[in-house]
Amino acid sequence: MANLNQKRPIEDDSSSDSSGEEEDDSQDEEMGEEEQLGENDREIQVEFAGQSPIAEDFHGIKNLLHQLFLKAHVNLSGLTELIIQQSYIGSILQQCIDNDDSDDEEDGNAEDEVFGVTSVINLSHHKDVECVKEVKQYLLEKTQQKLVELFNNPSNHIGLLFNERFINIPPQVSVPLLENLCKEIGEAKEAGKPFDFTHFILICKLHESTRKDQESKKKKAKGSNILWVNAEEEPISEIGEVLGEYSVRNESDSAVSGTWDEDDEQLDPKRRIVLISAAQLPEMLTKIKEFLQ
């Protein structure tokens, strides 16, 4: 069974080890730079930690699943419950707050907020659970039934990967979260739990340019007309088998809300369903690390 105490900080504030003198020297320089930046352009150092999901994380996890499935006919409450019930697998991402520095209610809320979730659900083991039936039906529809044989083969154990986080959190946090997930899957398998997967499915989020001019056509041919919401999912898509891609423009997606001027790049929000084999997990991690270097 996974050792939950080994979940570690994801992103560290390197300035915390500096001496008081060094901090004072650099503070004046930083303030001078910040005066030239707008409020939304400033960089803020935030430390995150991966934690085991608990009942109190229910609404935060459900909100993250909603940004993936949007208006799909899937019981997100049921999926969230499954993620929490298997607390020895997967992590939620939370901000680290130094309780010695501040005890404000605002800081307490930030500490409890769920900024990301990385987990996997065994679609084969939970095949009789209603929310899993809905997910499988959704995947079949969006892949034009390409997953029928995979789902119907009793020797297959298929995991649905969740790799969700707030849009402004850098992709580097995904590396330790995914590494930890792979480690926990291995430990759960050794303990005889139903995590001996043969395949994994990942639903990726991306935006594709809708412009039709000659330059856009060249970009599309090179694949450079795509903006990935989670950058680390691009190499996963490259090594995996793409089974379906579809627009979610008619559904509520705050990441692309608003209006554009005529000359602005217009983006169509999409989902891409990718299949990888369990044997490809080590390669997947290696490709992600190389891509994010």
The per-residue pLDDT for range 170-188, each reduced to its tens digit, is: 999 999 999 999 999 999 9
* Cβ atoms of residues 12 and 98 within 8 Å: no
Q: Is 210 a member of any domain? A: yes
The pLDDT of residue 105 is above 60:
no
Q: Is 34 a member of any domain? A: no
The pLDDT of residue 69 is above 60:
yes
Average pLDDT, whole number, for the chain? 82
The count of domains in the chain is: 1
pLDDT at 28: 47
pLDDT at 53: 96
- Residue 133 has φ and ψ, to the nearest 5°, of -60, -40
Q: Which of 9-13, 122-126, 197-201, 268-272 has the lowest mean pLDDT?
A: 9-13
pTM of the model: 0.79
Q: Is 12 a member of any domain? A: no
Distance of CA 35 to the CA centre of its chain: 34
Q: Give the integer Cα–Cα distance in Å for 107 and 9.
A: 18
Rounded average pLDDT over 214-219: 54
Residues in contact with 58: Cβ distance below 8 Å, sequence separation at least 6, in sequence order = 80, 81, 84
Distances (CA, A) of 207 to 52, 102, 167, 213, 237: 31, 39, 13, 17, 14
Residues in contact with 113: Cβ distance below 8 Å, sequence separation at least 6, in sequence order = 60, 94, 95
pLDDT at 29: 42
Q: Is 132 a member of any domain? A: yes
Q: Is 143 a member of any domain? A: yes
Q: Is 151 a member of any domain? A: yes
The residue with tokens 């089974």 is: 243
pLDDT tens string 19-42: 444 444 444 444 443 444 444 555
Q: Who wins on pLDDT, 37 or 126?
A: 126
The pLDDT of residue 239 is above 70:
yes
Residues in contact with 198: Cβ distance below 8 Å, sequence separation at least 6, in sequence order = 155, 156, 157, 158, 277, 278
Q: Is 276 a member of any domain? A: yes
Q: Give the integer Cα–Cα distance in Å for 56 and 267.
A: 35
| pLDDT band with cut points at 50, 70 and 90 for residue 224 | low
Containing structural domain, residue 285:
48-96+110-252+266-292
| CA angle, 49 then 51 then 54, to 5° | 145
**CATH no. for residue 162?**
3.40.630.30
